[in-house]
Chains A and B, each alone.
Chain A
């Protein structure tokens, strides 16, 4: 099975900072990767799919890149409402594994 490894597991940054989260697949998955945001006590929300396609309604400060095994989620200017845990997921074949999550906090 393909493993999905996110880093870091947590980070603390200031409002306005550029934040980058990485996700590495143990084998190539082309661009079949999604990013989700889960705020405390809420349901996961799709941010990006196909590695770089922004889901409708998601602020443009979020962006995704990568293909094959290495992927990144970037928040260009961190906002207080971005405090959440972020998950990557490979979705084109079973098991549709999620990364372990990256918790983002405001410094």
Chain B
């Protein structure tokens, strides 16, 4: 079964740091670009970041650029999101997502994790 399982969420103060993880199983992780998408409470979906396959290129939403870093460890089949200088507006459920087709990047998201909640509050 194709599965993504996020972990690492929690409650922290503004300015803090957190690293989210997404463990993949059931598919050849290294063949697929991976992304993070977030959803603030009661709000819509917001794309956060994507990491490609072979060249490891990374892409970020303007709202997180310079503060968040996406990375992957293909040997561990795990995706990461390092979040620094956290703000209240970063409060959201964070989902990792796999693309439909095994390409460098640039396809829809067919598999989503269950999400991990990040709350930034003083």
- Residues on A close to B: CB < 8 A? 1, 32, 34, 36, 38, 43-46, 49-50, 55, 85, 87, 89, 91-101
Contact = CB atoms under 8 A, between A and B. Distances in A.
B112 A44 contact: yes
Given A34-B109, A93-B106, A46 B44 contact: no
A5 B70 CA distance: 28
Given A34-B108, A91-B108, A92-B106, A98 B45 contact: yes
B59 A44 contact: no
Contacts of B115: 43
Contacts of A36: 45, 109
A104 B113 CA distance: 24
A95 B106 contact: no
Nearest to A97: B47
Contact of B107 (A43, A85, A91): A91
Interface of B: 35, 37, 44-47, 50, 59-62, 95, 100, 106-110, 112-115
Contacts, number: 64
14 contacts: A1-B62, A43-B114, A44-B112, A46-B100, A46-B110, A89-B45, A89-B108, A91-B109, A93-B106, A95-B61, A96-B35, A96-B59, A98-B44, A98-B45
Nearest to B100: A49
Nearest to A34: B108
Nearest to A32: B106
A34 B45 CA distance: 13
Given A44-B95, A94-B59, A96-B35, A49 B47 contact: no
A7 B12 CA distance: 36
Nearest to B61: A95
Given A55-B110, A91-B106, A96 B50 contact: yes
